[in-house]
Every structure is written in C-alpha cells, then in structure tokens.
C-alpha cells in the first residue's frame, strides 16, 4: 500500500479473487429512426467485444471520452440491459438479465453509484426514509429498532456523524459531497461485492473529490469489494486505481496496471488522453496532436476505429482491426504499431519522437484470446 503525493492511497498487491467478469460483452441498441423511417434498422454499436475482470479489494479504472461506451458497459455489468452477445459471470456463475435467483442476487450485490447524487434521490423524501427503504429490502427480518441502528451504522461508515444531523434532512439541504456519501451508504445496505462507480466525483467540487475517492478506497479495502471506477479523467485513474482499461468507440484499446498505462502508454488514444490532461510541467512538443472527433457508433470506422484521428495511422489500420499486442508484463494495446515489421517499427520510432521517453519502442506479442 502506498500514499501518493496527492494524498490518495493505492494498493499495489497482486489481483485477488475474481468477482465479476465480462466475457466478449457486446451491446447494440436499435436505432428508432426519424418519423420518415430514416435510420430504422440500423444499430448503435455501443459496446463491442469487451472482456474485463474485477477483483475483490481492487480498483479498476475504465477511462475514455464521453460517448466511448464506458457508462453503458457499467450498466451491462449491473445487468440493467440484456446483452446482445457475450456473458457476465458473478463469482464464476453466469448472470442472466431476465430474472431468477441469480439475477436478484446480482442486482443486489453489484451496486451502481452514479455521477449526479441529486438525481438519484427522491427530493421529497428525508434521508432516513430513503435509507430505510434500502434497509427494508436488504434486511427483511430486522426489527424497526435494528433497522434504525443499521442506518446509523451506514452513515458512520461513510463518515457522516452524528447520524441525527443528516437523517431528517432532505436532499436539497445537503452538499453534493454529503449526498454522494449517502448514496454510497445506501449501496452499502445491500452488502455489495462490487461497486460500479460511474464518474462518482465529476459533479463534485474539486476540494471534496479526494475525500469521496479515499472513502471508496477505504471501503474497497476493508470490505474486499471490487470497484470499477468509470472516469474521463486518466490522471485520477493513475492515483486511484491499481489497473486501468482504456475504452474508445465501444472497444477496449489498452489495459494494464495504472502505472504502466499512464507512465508508458502504448496506444495512441491513451497517449492523446494523457496529453489532453492539464499538466503545466509538460512541454508543448510532447503533446500528441488531436486531429478529429470521436466517430459515430452507428457506422464506426473500418479497421482500427481510431484510425481517422490517429497521427500514426498506416494503410493497414483502415483495413484490418488490430489484435491485442502484449507490450509489457500484464499490459496490452490493440494497435498495429506493435506488429513485428519494418513499417510498424518506423511508426514506433515516430511515436517515440513525438511522445518522448514514456513511449514503448519495441514490437509486442499478439495475445491469444483468453490471455491477460
């Protein structure tokens, strides 16, 4: 365990028990079309063939721009939508999003924490009433006195003490940070095995973000919860998460430890994200140029979906989707720059010139399906 210069605490031990696993998860949403029928029959390729494992007591960051599919993926993990293809396993057992005991267990043990805490509360219900509803669902046999004690304990776990100071308040009487803590307390009522935190601090003041992230870190460690931290902020992923997966246009394009992905980013999209994050210490010549916009997910680009924006694109990039290349121990990138040939070597040299010392300069090994 280390404390970073920003005050975040990071676990650097090896992954533990796999709790939640996505295998080749794909989600296509049908396009309704306009009143004249245009667009009907087409689909939005929101998430395409994504595999990811979440481990007990470990934080995994899922990073990407708005519209990259990361929130949709979190909702698929929560079984809020049926999958188009692929499967989700909770503790090794397949989850079926159509009901049954396993489905009910899944939705209770896998808890979503949303970006906007104000939007996730009933504005005319007191905090006590909101929490009591969750406690009643998950502690059916508890007496009224026991339920009240559970609420007090939940608030204590998220550092809101004394409980009486919060329970009789309405959501609008609390700050965003306090309300986000209460939404975490509500999720804790279910004794979750997984937190899916979708931009949990993006709507909060900068001054209180660190406190909420450190609370999530503490709960993850103490309760052995697996945490997926969905964010557009790759800098916070570096300090907060052990592992980082990068998503672009519905696909994972890079995965590794947060240290590897942020300090030795292999994929040009990851490099672009890092380069776009504010960093006064970085020289302008080390910024990766951005030459476009995220693509339409109705008609995504052929080959590598990043090729229209990529400063290092080669001819094959538009024709053939790249496989995953292992570029370091436990780190892979879906990019032709790591192929073992002269054209790719020239691309890597150009990448290293632009990206500086953090760039990976050697060819990778194609990763067989199921590995890493």
DSSP three-state, residue 10: strand
Q: Which stretch binds ligand SF4 (CB under 6 A): 211-219, 234-242, 286-294, 313-321?
A: 313-321
| C-beta closer to ligand SF4: residue 15 or 323 | 323
310 is a site residue for ligand SF4 (CB under 6 A) = yes
* Contact residues for 356 (Cβ-Cβ < 8 A; gap 6+): 286
DSSP for 34-64 reads -TT-TTTT-EEEEEEEEEEEEETT-EEEEE-
Residue 205 class from Cβ within 10 Å (0-12 exposed, 13-18 middle, 19+ buried)?
exposed
Q: Select from 53-61, 137-145, 277-285, 329-337 the region that touches ligand SF4 (CB under 6 A).
A: 329-337
- DSSP secondary structure letters along 278-334: --TTS-GGGSPPP-S-PPPSSSPPSSSTTGGG-TT--GGGGTS----EEEETTEEE-
Minimum CB separation of residue 257 from ligand SF4 in Å reads 21
The minimum distance between CB 78 and ligand SF4, in angstroms, equals 30
Return d(Cα 365, Cα 326) in angstroms, integer: 5
- How far, in whole angstroms, is CA 186 from its chain's centroid? 20
247 part of the interface to ligand SF4, by CB under 6 A: no
Shorter beta-carbon distance to ligand SF4: residue 44 or 249: 249
CB of 17 to ligand SF4, least distance (A): 34
Q: Which of 135, 270, 336, 364 binds ligand SF4 (CB under 6 A)?
A: 336
The single residue among 155, 313, 354, 359 that binds ligand SF4, judged by CB under 6 A, is 313
Task: Considering only residues 290 through 309, tell me which ones interact with ligand SF4, judged by CB under 6 A.
Answer: 304, 306-307
Task: Tell me, by CB under 6 A, how many residues bind ligand SF4.
Answer: 15
| Residues 86-145 within binding reach of ligand SF4 (CB under 6 A) | none
Q: Is 322 in the site for ligand SF4 (CB under 6 A)?
A: yes
* 268, 271, 332, 364: residue in contact with ligand SF4 (rule CB under 6 A): 268
Task: Indicate which single residue of 151, 154, 335, 354 sits in contact with ligand SF4 (rule: CB under 6 A).
Answer: 335
Which residue, 186 or 348, is less far from ligand SF4 as judged by CB? 348
Spatial distance between the Cα atoms of 22 and 24, rounded to a whole number of angstroms? 7
Q: Where are the alpha helices (H) located in the chain, listed in sequence order?
A: 70-77, 101-109, 127-138, 144-157, 164-167, 176-188, 206-223, 234-240, 258-263, 268-276, 342-355
Q: Using CB under 6 A as the criterion, which residues of the chain lie in contact with ligand SF4 when the complex forms?
A: 267-268, 304, 306-307, 310, 312-314, 317, 322, 335-337, 347
């Amino acid at each position: 365990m280390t404390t970073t210069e920003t005050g975040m605490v990071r676990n650097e031990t090896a992954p533990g028990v796999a709790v939640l696993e996505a295998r080749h998860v794909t989600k296509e949403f049908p396009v309704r079309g306009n009143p004249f029928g245009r667009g009907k029959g087409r689909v939005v390729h929101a998430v395409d063939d994504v595999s990811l494992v979440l481990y007990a007591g470990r934080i995994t960051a899922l990073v990407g721009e708005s519209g990259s599919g990361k929130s949709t993926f979190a909702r698929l993990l929560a079984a809020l939508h049926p999958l188009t293809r692929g499967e989700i396993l909770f503790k090794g057992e397949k989850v079926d999003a159509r009901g049954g005991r396993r489905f009910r267990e899944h939705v209770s043990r896998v808890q979503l924490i949303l970006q906007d805490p104000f939007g996730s509360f009933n504005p005319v219900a007191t905090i006590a009433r909101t929490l009591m509803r969750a406690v009643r669902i998950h502690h059916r046999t508890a007496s009224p006195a026991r339920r009240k004690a559970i609420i007090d304990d939940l608030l204590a776990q998220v550092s809101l003490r004394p409980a009486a100071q919060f329970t009789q308040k309405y959501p609008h009487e609390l700050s965003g940070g306090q309300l986000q803590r209460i939404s975490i307390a509500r999720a804790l009522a279910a004794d979750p095995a997984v937190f899916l935190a979708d931009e949990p601090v993006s709507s909060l003041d900068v001054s209180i973000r660190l406190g909420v992230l450190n609370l999530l870190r503490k709960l993850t460690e103490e309760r052995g919860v697996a945490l997926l931290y969905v964010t557009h902020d790759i800098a916070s992923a570096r300090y907060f998460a052990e592992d980082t997966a990068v998503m672009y246009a519905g696909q994972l394009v890079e995965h590794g430890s947060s240290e590897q992905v942020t300090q030795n980013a292999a994929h040009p999209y990851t490099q672009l994200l890092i380069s776009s994050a504010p960093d006064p210490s970085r020289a302008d010549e080390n910024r990766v140029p951005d030459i476009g916009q995220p693509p339409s997910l109705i008609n995504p680009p052929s080959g590598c979906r990043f090729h229209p924006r990529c400063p290092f694109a080669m001819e094959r990039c538009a024709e053939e989707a790249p496989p995953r290349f292992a570029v370091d121990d436990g780190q892979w990138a879906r990019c032709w720059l790591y192929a073992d040939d002269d054209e790719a070597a020239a691309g890597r040299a150009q990448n290293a010139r632009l990206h500086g010392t953090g760039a990976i300069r050697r060819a990778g090994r194609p990763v067989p399906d199921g590995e890493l």
